[in-house]
Amino acid sequence: MKIICFNINGIRARPHQLEEILVRHAPDVIGLQETKVADDQFPLEDIHRLGYQALYHGQKGHYGVA
């Protein structure tokens, strides 16, 4: 099992970096820190398009994790 941890520092600003990591390393699980996005703005469709499922939690005024 391959697990990757990535401080994305804003998931909406860096979707290309996330996609590159997923394609290059094909992890089974990836943990994202500092997503900086509210739950209702999380790019869930993009994650699904890349073949992954997502569990995420953001809080107003906090950076959030996925």
Q: Is residue 42 part of a domain?
A: yes
Counted domains in the chain = 1
Do 15 and 42 touch, CB atoms closer than 8 A?
no
Q: Which residues of the chain have pLDDT under 70?
A: 60-66
Within a domain: 62: no
Domain that holds residue 26: 3-49
Q: Can you give the pLDDT at residue 22? A: 94
